[in-house]
Amino acid sequence: MVGARQFDEQEVIAIALDVFWHKGLHDATMQDLASATGVQRGSLYNAYGDKEAIFLRAFDRYAEQFLASAGEALAHGDALTRLRTFLDMIVTNMTSGSPPRGCLTTRTALDAAISGDDVRARVLQLLARLERLIADALTAAPGKDAARDAGRLARIVVTFTRGLAVMERAGYSRKQLKDAAATFADAIAGDA
């Protein structure tokens, strides 16, 4: 390999992820990425081809981080505890940063109509993996009938988390979101 790359790819992708997280795939420009990473636009085109290619790498990084966090949050306690911990993590995650960065998956899903097939597929894939993770956690939880309908429950949990992401963008505070999440968890997994 001659004429080696002048920048650290891992670092560039990590920074790109941050840019996309705050601005979204659609609104982040190559210039935004160039400024944030300190790598010229031309170099980014040369190295990755286009913005979507960079996004896919960043999104993959994000997906792994996200699923890892979800897995941890869902690992301990009974069904209600797992759900509460998980939702808490979700809300904390989307209300972090200044300004709060929201949820990248949700933002990307909303732009699905104007995104490439690859992007759409990644979003669906992440949602599916998350759903499975939740279903498994509910099934594995000690307690009575938590495992019954774990699949169906997992889907509405995923759906509800997407709703939280929208409410965050609409302007609801971390506290309001956590309250709503707690109400939801109780209604779904609480001892009725």
Partner DNA sequence: TTCATTCTTGACATCATCGTCAAGTTTGAC
Partner DNA sequence: GTCAAACTTGACGATGATGTCAAGAATGAA
Q: Is residue 127 a contact partner of residue 158, using CB atoms and an 8 Å limit?
A: yes
Query: Least distance in Å: CB of 10 to DNA?
Result: 14
| CA pair distance 68, 37, nearest whole angstrom | 26
The region of 4-12, 71-79, 135-143, 163-171 touching a copy of itself under the rule CB under 8 A is 163-171
The region of 37-45, 58-66, 75-83, 107-115 touching DNA under the rule CB under 7 A is 37-45
- What is the DSSP code string of 108-154? HHHTGGGS-HHHHHHHHHHHHHHHHHHHHHHHHSSSSSTTTTHHHHH
65 in contact with DNA (CB under 7 A): no
Binding mask 81-110 for a copy of itself (x = CB under 8 A): ------------------x--x---xx-xx
Extract the tokens encoding 167.
């409410």
Residue 39 or residue 130: which is nearer to DNA going by CB? Answer: 39
Q: Is residue 134 a contact partner of residue 158, using CB atoms and an 8 Å limit?
A: yes
In terms of C-beta density within 10 A (0-12 exposed, 13-18 middle, 19 or more buried), how is residue 10 classed? exposed
35 in contact with DNA (CB under 7 A): no
The region of 25-33, 71-79, 140-148, 176-184 touching DNA under the rule CB under 7 A is 25-33
39 in contact with DNA (CB under 7 A): yes
Alpha-carbon distance values, 9 to 2, 39, 58, 165 (Å):
17, 11, 11, 30
Residue 54 or residue 138: which is nearer to DNA going by CB? Answer: 54
Q: Give the ranges where the chain is alpha helix by DSSP (H).
A: 9-27, 30-37, 41-48, 51-73, 79-94, 104-110, 117-140, 150-170, 174-189
The region of 10-18, 43-51, 118-126, 135-143 touching a copy of itself under the rule CB under 8 A is 118-126
50 in contact with DNA (CB under 7 A): yes
| CA pair distance 55, 24, nearest whole angstrom | 10
Considering only residues 57, 61, 120, 174, which one is a binding residue for a copy of itself as defined by CB under 8 A? Answer: 120
**Interface with a copy of itself by CB under 8 A: which residues?**
26-27, 99, 102, 106-107, 109-110, 112-114, 120, 123-124, 127, 149, 152-153, 155-156, 158-167, 169-171, 179-180, 183-184, 187-188, 192
